[in-house]
Amino acid sequence: MEQATEVIHAGPAAIRHVLLDALALPEWNEAFLAIDGPAEAEPGSSYALRVRPGFAGELQYTVVEPDRIEISWQVPGFREVGTWTIGPDSRVTHTFEQSGPLATVLRPAYRNIATIRLARLANRVRQFSHAA
């Protein structure tokens, strides 16, 4: 399991907005090439997913709560379950676990990815906050 925590200087609502904008995930998560599905993410929302280097799979929101969002996604040979926990102080913890034969091969490449994802989330939240 990988985990990192960062304070994102924005309110929890802005952080949730970015995390729940599934169709825009490829704009700040470079593993995702394209996502197609409903505009509004809810528990059970399912999306067609294409990831680098072109694998097709599925992404699903499994938990959507005020302080916790869980997303699972899978492609052949790889599955990830990621959790984003948002504290009232805008402290965000990202945890993820991967499984499958492809995950075993890619494990070294995923070191520090939780920290990188949090930095990208923070940047995306800043972009969203300035545009709003």
Question: Is the pLDDT score of 97 beyond 70?
Answer: yes
Q: Looking at the 3D structure of the chain, how many domains does it have?
A: 1
Cα(129)–Cα(132) distance, integer angstroms? 5
| Domain of residue 51, residue span | 2-131
CATH number at residue 26: 3.30.530.20
Residue-wise pLDDT for 49-96, tens only, equals 999 888 999 999 999 999 999 999 999 999 999 999 999 899 999 999
Question: Is the pLDDT score of 30 beyond 90?
Answer: no
Q: What does the pLDDT read at residue 1?
A: 87
**pTM assigned to the model:** 0.92
Q: What does the pLDDT read at residue 132?
A: 60
Tokens 């609502």, residue? 13
Residue-wise pLDDT for 16-28, tens only, equals 999 999 999 999 9
